[in-house]
Structure 1
Amino acid sequence: MPNYRPPEAMNGTPAKVTLARGTVLHRVHKSHREAAAFNPHPAHCLYGGGRFDGTSCDPYGYLYAGLSPAAAVCETLLRSLPFDPSGGPRLLPRVSVEGRRLSTLRLTTDVTVVSLMTAQELAAVHQDSWLVQTEAIDYAYTRDWAHWIRRHTDPWAQGFVWSSKREPGDRTVLLFGDRCPQGAVSAAEPVEGGGVDFGTAEGEQWLNSVLQPYHARLAP
């Protein structure tokens, strides 16, 4: 599938879903970045980067989030973390969480996104589960497909929503900075668990409580 290039035309009808104003999102991000700030740095077209990042081929700010804290943690921190053959918990290297925190966000307006949740919805954009399930080795290709979908859903699509690869029971969202109005995402009002700094003892305890059901924990 990575070697299949997007066609010139889109013959299907992409599925539209509205994330309502007030929807709560959860994001794991570098502590130096404001909770609701879009990442402004384009990924390389071929190397590194995330699944649907903007690149120099289609530069846009991007913000990934989960619809639950667990989805945000799993998508960000459990990528390619292998299970221990002896049956012990997976150990998450501490370098993975250095300078990171979890923030709770809230949509301040309705946001319309392309839904990539089902096989029918993926087929509408000429794709299958590869687009949302493949590992990082194929991300240069998934970014190219994301740019193609954006071109054919301009101007209405303000992002994507899909089933989390690492927590299939939940959803992951990507928002486009160039199509979301300024202030469309804001840091949520202080709530219990609304913000967690992984560099603190409390943050480490909270993170281990989220990781435990996934048979994982921070390395000693």
Structure 2
Amino acid sequence: MGKYPPPDALPGVPTRAVLRKGTPMYRVHSTHREPTAYNSQRAHPFYFGGRFDSTLFDSYGYLYVGFSVGAAISEVLLRSVPIDTDSGERLLLRKSFERRSLSFLRLAADIEVVSLMSGRDLSAVAQTGWLVQAEGADYPQTRDWGHWIRRQTKAWAQGFVWPSKREPADRVAILFDDRGESAVLEPTGVASIDFGTEEGERWLNGVLRPYHTHTAPRGL
């Protein structure tokens, strides 16, 4: 378990991974937000927020992406959704998806990120699988570790990449807006899917079906 304060210095050399220009990326985001716009809202240092969000202790714009549709949707929409022990199914409440969309993006340039993919990668930054597998109750600590890793990899690291907790067959990443001089992501030209529309909800249910999940009826 990696739930302890960061050390004074790195025990190894962080693993640099190059993500190539043109790599497809998928982002679930608030429908009102532009697909490539970074989130500038800082999380609370000790309470609500995501795994590696910005806080007042390290302020930066950030966005999360998946390397597949399933990873992007699972990481955002299936987090903390319980499985019914009788049916084996999950019910996705409407408030969790109705104001969200999925956008189809790609990298506009080669970028360098810190790899957190393997035990070796994690050990190089004094961590274990806890850092990328911890649930929300530990996110204040994972945010602190994210800030520390950013400080140790200034100014080359434009983000982190790690295995998706909820879709282990694929990867997810966070990208930062304060590393690099040009836009990192660009639209592919494929229209975003608005989950708040009937067509978008049908599309979403098609993606959720293999995860034994479906959207709740209206009113729930």
TM tier relative to shorter chain: over 0.9
> Once the two structures are superposed, what CA deviation does each residue of 1:136-177 show, in whole Å capped at 9, x if it has no partner?
000000000000000001111100000000000000010011
Question: Aligned equivalents of 2:187 and 2:8: distance in 1?
Answer: 39
Question: Aligned equivalents of 1:18 and 1:181: distance in 2?
Answer: 16
SS at match of 1:114: strand
How do residues 141-152 of structure 1 correspond to structure 2 at under 5 angstroms? 141-152=141-152
> Once the two structures are superposed, what CA deviation does each residue of 1:67-86 show, in whole Å capped at 9, x if it has no partner?
00110000000001111111
Q: Any stretches of 5+ residues in structure 1 without a counterpart?
A: none
Structure 1 equivalent of residue 45 of structure 2: 45
Question: Aligned equivalents of 2:158 and 2:86: distance in 1?
Answer: 45
2:98–2:195 CA contact under 8 A, matched in 1: yes
Structure 2 equivalent of residue 82 of structure 1: 82
How do residues 177-196 of structure 1 correspond to structure 2 at under 5 angstroms? 177-190=177-190, 194-196=191-193
Structure 1 equivalent of residue 11 of structure 2: 11
Partner amino acid, structure 2, of 1:114 = V
CA RMSD of superposed structures (Å)? 1.1
1:209 aligns with 2:206: yes
Question: Aligned equivalents of 2:184 and 2:92: distance in 1?
Answer: 33
1:2–1:138 CA contact under 8 A, matched in 2: no
1:6–1:145 CA contact under 8 A, matched in 2: yes
Please state how far the C-alpha of 1:97 moved relative to its aligned partner: 0.7
Please state how far the C-alpha of 1:88 moved relative to its aligned partner: 4.8
Q: Any stretches of 5+ residues in structure 2 without a counterpart?
A: none
Structure 1 equivalent of residue 215 of structure 2: 218
TM-score between both structures, scaled by the size of structure 2: 0.96
Partner amino acid, structure 2, of 1:47 = Y
Structure 1 runs, 4 residues or longer, greater than 6 Å off: none
Partner amino acid, structure 2, of 1:215 = H
Structure 1 equivalent of residue 135 of structure 2: 135
> Once the two structures are superposed, what CA deviation does each residue of 1:69-117 show, in whole Å capped at 9, x if it has no partner?
1100000000011111111521000110121100011111111000001
1:92–1:219 CA contact under 8 A, matched in 2: yes
